[in-house]
Structure 1
Amino acid sequence: MPAPSDRAVGFDPPAGLSGPAENRPSLIPLPSLLRSLLTDHLDPGYAAAAERRRAGAARRRAADHLWQALAALLIAVVFAAAVAQARSTAPGVSAAQQVLAASVRSAERSTDELATRRNALAVQADDIQRRQLRDDRTGRQLLTRLDELSLTAATTPVIGPGLNITITDPGAGRDLTDVAKQRVPGSRQVILDRDLQLVVNSLWAAGAEAISVGGVRMGPNATIRQAGGAILVDNHPVSSPYAILAVGPPNTMRDTFERSSGLQRLRLLEAYYGVGVGVSSGDGLSLPAGTVREITFAKQIGP
């Protein structure tokens, strides 16, 4: 009997043969074209091409994995070399930092000692000058004029009533960058040099006779500027809280300063950024003498 699958496709090997089965010639069954079309869906050439593509893709994947492994190994070697170099140079860098820090501290001590000696010599020179000039009328007039000029030049210490303004930076918070793009995002610093400059100019306009910022006397040659994250007053670094002392008539100064752009700026920083602002009157405010510098050229502005 032919197989059921042969009958299903219409193929019957004994069909057309006569006589008993034992007298029939033996036949080698070959699949018909219809069976080949129904059972073999892919041409052998296409199958071989597909197999070659799969083999090529496998080889490419293996090559990619090899290159990735080599790249990872190279990166690991570079990082290991960098770590080894950093560890080998770390002691030298630390030693250099310590030497530089010690040099800076020594220079600061020398500067403080020289400043103290300069102030002492200035007091002695002023005493000698006064003893020589106070004995006659012309000398006394000259002393009065010198006192006026010394107050304007901020070269003598001042004690008197006035205003005490304290400005305190807030804690670390959100991005405090303003239009100037000088504030560092996330830092503790909100107050900039321009804020202190505006406050000092507002105090001068309010009638202050002498002003100091962070213990540094403001004079004709004194500046307030920003250097990175530090504020320098006459090249002396100051930090929060910033203490501004202004000697002058307290009531008149306070009334005018309350309406000034300097205090309005501080109130805005207080409301938006949490800056601490304190304004109080005092009777015995003490301001140091400013730095005396040699002036080689000057031009009068105004009447």
Structure 2
Amino acid sequence: MTQHEHRAVRPETRTTDPAYVGLLKQVMTNTLDEDYRAVAERRGSQNRPGVTTTRVGLMAVLVLFGVMVGVSALQTEQDRPRAMAERAALIEQINQRQARYDDLREVIGDTLRRVTRLQSAVAAEVDGNGALGSRIATLGIEAGTLAATGPGIVITVDDAADGSATLGGTILDTDLRQLVNALWESGAEAIAIDGHRLSTLTSIRYAGQAITVGYRSLTPPYTVSVIGDPDTLPSRLLETAGGRMWQGLEANFGITFDLATAERVTVPAAPRDRLVYARPEKAR
């Protein structure tokens, strides 16, 4: 037997750790995707606000809104008595000033009537035949300081009935001024628009959305009362430039222009305006 034949052959044996086998089996059967998914879900749940936090924030907003509404309502309720008191005081002030204005107008009327009587008395003493008194009355009528009554015409003008205000169917302040100037040119002795006497100091103009005559707002239709010769006024009016203009307004824009003669027309006295006189400046 050779040396190789006498060498003992030792069988190779291996021992396996049970823990190692279990871990290997788990790795083979379970992939790592589930672990990644679990970690991602856990992180996502940590980043999202919880339901409780959302509800708390919503409740806080509602409470704040309720407090603001309550404070506003309370402030309004507290300010209401003061606002009502201020409104009542303002109304009372307006009523007092209106009453004062009416009283002053009555005083002015009484004073004017007294002045007229004194003028008549003085004229009667100075001029026995009354020529001076007649002259004073004539001047008063021409100046508008005295009321006047006599024959004449009454003109009623109004905007177009079809409402064509944007197409020229509305009476303007310049239209009334043209009519008044044409009446003076035609021989009118006294004129009043809607009961407001015209004098050399009376203005006719637009103020806001209305035409004002002597700072009094008027609304259409406008009634123009004229004292003068009823036989010649209508024809002479139509011969003036202002009369022809009004004929064009009636024909082209539908503005109403009605003229009627009257045996008795009454116009009031014009209010007395304070006159302002120019004074020369003293030499320096």
Cα separation, 2, equivalents of 1:111 and 1:239: 26
Matching of residue 221 in structure 1 with residue 201 in structure 2? yes
Would you say the 8 A contact 1:210–1:246 is kept in 2? yes
Name the count of aligned residue pairs. Answer: 246
Q: How does 1:112-127 map to 2 (within 5 A)?
A: 112-127=105-120
Of 28, 47, 52, 1:53 maps to: 47
Larger radius of gyration: 2
User: What corresponds to 2:28 in structure 1?
Assistant: 32
Task: Report the 3-state secondary structure (helix = DSSP H, G, I; strand = E; otherwise coil) of the residue aligned with 1:259.
Answer: helix
SS at match of 1:32: helix
Q: Residues 92-136 of structure 1: CA distance to partner in whole angstroms, max 9, x if unpaired? A: 235324522431342243034224313422431342244245447
Unmatched segments (≥5 aa) in structure 1: 1-24, 179-189, 272-276, 299-303
Distance 1:111 1:93, change over 3 A: same
User: Residues of 1 paired with 2:38 and 2:69: CA distance?
Assistant: 48
Q: State the 1:199 CA deviation.
A: 0.6
* AA partner of residue 146 (structure 2): T
Q: 1:135-185, CA deviations, whole angstroms, 9 ceiling, x for partnerless residues?
A: 47xx84x66765664344222323331232254799xx9xx899xxxxxxx
For 1:263 and 1:134, the matched residues in 2 are separated by: 51
One-letter amino acid of the counterpart of residue 244, structure 2: R
Q: Secondary structure of 1:102's partner? A: helix
Shift of 1:288: 1.3
Q: Distance in 2 between matches of 1:129 and 1:200?
A: 38
TM superposition score normalised by structure 2: 0.64
Q: Secondary structure in 2 aligned to 1:260?
A: helix
TM-score, structure 1 length as denominator?
0.61
Aligned to 1:76: 69
Q: Per-residue deviation at 1:217? A: 0.8
- CA gap 1:30/1:294 in 2 versus in 1, 3 angstroms: closer
- Residue number in structure 1 paired with 2:192: 212
Percent sequence identity over aligned pairs: 17
**Shift in CA distance, 143/46, structure 1 to aligned 2, threshold 3 Å:** same
CA RMSD of aligned residues (A): 4.4
Structure 2 CA distance for partners of 1:64 and 1:55, relative to 1, 3 Å: closer
What SS class does the counterpart of residue 277 from structure 2 fall into? Answer: coil
Look up the equivalent residue of 2:197 and give its one-letter code: R
